[in-house]
Amino acid sequence: MQYVAFTADKLVRSFPAKVRGFSIGASAASVVNIYDGTSSSGTLVFNIEIPQNETAMFANEGILFSAGIYIDVVSGSVKGSVFVE
């Protein structure tokens, strides 16, 4: 397993991979979407709304993203990591 850090939109993987979890902190109220695909036109898997000064966390045995993993920071200010395999 490996982690990929982000503070803005990011293409995490351009090939099939598993998301094992994420941790995202927000210094302002924020929205982060995680897509199965290589852009925000992929399939929306996670829509994460994070209040100011809070952290959203998720851990799992792994969810397969068949077309890639793309993170879209829709609004706010975040610092996070996604855990991939």
Give the three-class secondary structure for 38: coil
> What's the number of domains the chain is made of?
1
The CATH number of the domain where 19 resides is what? Answer: 2.60.120
Structural domain including 8 reads 2-84
Residue-wise pLDDT tens digits, 11-30:
999 999 999 999 999 999 99
Helices marked H in 30-85 — which ranges?
none
Reading the block at residue 8, the tokens are 């803005």
Q: What's the average model confidence in pLDDT over 61-81? A: 97
Residue-wise pLDDT tens digits, 41-50:
999 999 999 9
pTM: 0.96
